[in-house]
Chain A
């Protein structure tokens, strides 16, 4: 039992406390940041998709570009804001879980926003009009549109979740890879690699993929059963 796959399975079934903890941390950070990002991103995405306004295409281009925002740049920006020597230093959240969640939410935001906007743009343009003639208010139109495009919106959310779950830059810089606190699967992989523990690193990578698969499957189940 020395291969990475075997070790991954061993770590999971023997209930290695630390592995479960960092897996839970990754999951908690990823879900929190994605959900926080969704709150503004989905309604805004719908608005961008349904409304016609000046510079709309330029805005979409900017959002698409932001999807490629390097994680270390977000890490660095948030870091300089929340360091005690920075403007938000009095919060004292650097190297704590909220710091990582903030950074990852910033990474998730443009993905959900941009993908929601583009998927809803493909909705029949008559859809909101029909709703209006049926007497629907603006909020109802917004809600119905999201419902109608729930598959693509879920895909957007899961894509964002995938990105934050797999990123290491923001988690490392903002969380500090603190054991039993802010260590995630990806920062643990970076640490194990630096220590030359390649097999353990790969095993953790496999666990990350299993987690991602689980969340994706769950997401699709939820939408199917709506």
Chain B
């Protein structure tokens, strides 16, 4: 009896994962689009309309691009223009479209020990943090935000080496939480900041508005010539959806605590 039961259980266990055969589209994206709560709002209407199930794998932009390069994703939604252009130039991706943008902000303890709030530019803000040796938490994960942060450091006198500079290799949400605990400064995307603001008491936006902090998101299909097994048609349907008037409206209307997180760019 027990043996039969075991065999039945085993059969179920092995077969169960194979049973459901729906069309799946794998979207590799950044933690910011997921943690900000946008994708859980943006994807369901697409899924209802097309019958395609969108599997969201939320990693940093660097990792998302790597997934595309290895053929492990069908479509990318990322924010690192230089890396995106290199990805396309190398032939891994096709049909890039601008989707939306927001901006990066420098956040930190409200007491602002490095007097960042008085800085005229982001580069100057970073220079002040370095000069004061104030704790700074870096994503350190090759994400779009991390790339932008390193760009700023390069202009502010080079990548820091001091003990006050902490590379933690975590997603945006985790880094904000750590910054709160460490009373540290960090660079964040506005979307994740707004979505998490209520969990970050004592932290404030200290520098913003510099044109250098522009944060555009692009959508790219993985090149089906390189990876014939990727779901290219579904990827193109997704690109069409996210850049459609309807998709762009959902992006524009998405608010947390009354604040808009992203500004759509695809449809004027």
Contact = CB atoms under 8 A, between A and B. Distances in A.
Contacts of A89: 71
Given A35-B9, A94-B72, A196 B176 contact: yes
Contacts of A95: 26, 55, 57, 72
Contact of B196 (A176, A180, A196, A226): A196
Majority SS at the chain B contact face: helix
Interface stretch (A47-55, A96-104, A109-117, A127-135): A96-104
B171 A194 contact: yes
Interface residues of A, number: 32
A35 B10 CA distance: 7
Interface residues of B, number: 35
Contacts of A178: 55-57
Contacts of A36: 10, 13-14
B263 interface: no
A83 interface: yes
A32 B2 contact: no
B31 A31 contact: no
B18 interface: yes
A177 B57 CA distance: 7
A84 B70 contact: yes
B199 interface: yes
Interface in A41-95: 83-85, 89-90, 92, 94-95
Contacts of B53: 180-181
A1 interface: no
Interface in B52-88: 53, 55-58, 69-72
Given A84-B229, A95-B55, A177-B58, A194 B13 contact: no
B244 interface: no
B2 A181 contact: no
Interface of B: 2, 6, 9-10, 13-14, 16-18, 26, 31, 35, 40, 53, 55-58, 69-72, 170-171, 173-174, 176-177, 195-196, 199-200, 227, 229-230
Given A84-B70, A179-B56, 20 more contacts: A31-B9, A32-B14, A35-B13, A36-B14, A39-B10, A84-B229, A84-B230, A85-B69, A85-B71, A85-B72, A95-B55, A95-B72, A97-B16, A101-B13, A101-B17, A177-B57, A178-B56, A180-B53, A182-B55, A194-B31
